[in-house]
Amino acid sequence: MTPIPPSEKALVPFVSVENMMRLIHHIGIEAMLKGLAGYIKADFKRWELFDKTPRIASHSTEGVIELMPTSDGEVYGFKYVNGHPKNTSEGLQTVTAFGLLADVRSGYPVLLSEMTVLTAMRTAATSGLVTRYLAPKGADTMAMIGAGAQSEFQSLAMKALAGITSVRLYDIDPGAVAKAARNLAGTGLNVTACNSAEAAMEGAQIITTCTADKQYATILTDNMVGPGVHINAIGGDCPGKTELAPGVLRRASIFVEYPEQTRIEGEIQQLPPDHPVTELWQVMNGTAPGRTDARQITLFDSVGFAIEDFSALRYVRDHIGGTGFDFDLDLLADPDDPRDLFGMLMRAGTG
């Protein structure tokens, strides 16, 4: 990462929601999904360099507010994110987020960005990247169970990164299915609206579950899942919030981002703490196998990890220059004499 010139260190580039959307359209949605996946893969392959900790969560009856920090020793990053399933009934987003990168040597922030839209993009990019490693050969159809805010991003990531051509949609809310089908029209995907999860899974080699309720739920029962499929379980991302029956987990080869976090928040919170899992970074650097058998059930127990957000922010910082899609924030005090912060304050009062 290029050091910030001294004359600019007091100003922090900020990417707003509006400018993030402009950047995505400037690059192209599928092109940016591919780019994000490349950055995530590169950072996973240097996994051992990063500080790693389960996200710091504050739970309430309404939802959760979390901080997700990490550092590779040169750059520090964190994301603030919430998850409030009831928000949609009040016209609010279930998930909102912002993130920051900072220079480890000085501690100065070097980027502040919205991450509500960016998190949707990085989550989808991660799913697509992992699916490319774990899906059965020749997979061309995905069942998308849960047609909320993630569904279109997930569908386009599977097209861009895993080569699917068809999406079968189901949600308990028919309006959500109609919304997703409408948004995916013209993307090159063959979209089918289904009236049940079972119907959505017919002919699908990839199954993605992404529902929002903060409660133990069973979106997929054991008898719904046949051999040879790949499952992306995305909706279970905090204690007490799951989507799959334990029987599915026991039959599957399970792949996770960071076991210490996933055992608390993911589907595997339903299993004994010593149940074997494979870490994705090991698959990506070639030290652990991915799919090994055509009849194997592979499961990505996705909860989201700070390194993925770090990768996404790094991608934005590397691609925002010269676009005009950011502006500088006067976020840091910058007295002429670093020891004279009070003098700077007093001079401001006499201007």
Q: Respond yes or no: is residue 237 known to be catalytic.
A: yes
Helices 29-44 and 17-27 meet at what angle, rounded to 10? Answer: 100
With 0-12 / 13-18 / 19 or more C-beta atoms within 10 angstroms meaning exposed / middle / buried, residue 138 is: exposed
From 202, 132, 136, select the one nearest 167 (Cα to Cα): 202
Enter the tokens of residue 6: 């001294």
Q: What DSSP line would sit under 312-342, residue for residue?
A: HHHHHHHHHTTTT--EEE--S---SSTT-HH
Q: How many CB atoms lie within 10 A of CB 274?
A: 7
**Distance separating alpha carbons of residues 275 and 273, to the nearest angstrom:** 6
Collapsing DSSP states into helix, strand and coil, what is residue 91? Answer: coil
**Distance separating alpha carbons of residues 189 and 156, to the nearest angstrom:** 8
DSSP 5: P
Phi, psi of 166 (to 5 degrees): -135, 140
Name beta bridge partners: 4. Answer: none
**Chain center to CA of 186:** 25
Query: Of the listed 237, 301, 309, 326, which one is catalytic?
Result: 237
With 0-12 / 13-18 / 19 or more C-beta atoms within 10 angstroms meaning exposed / middle / buried, residue 295 is: exposed
| Catalytic machinery residues | 237
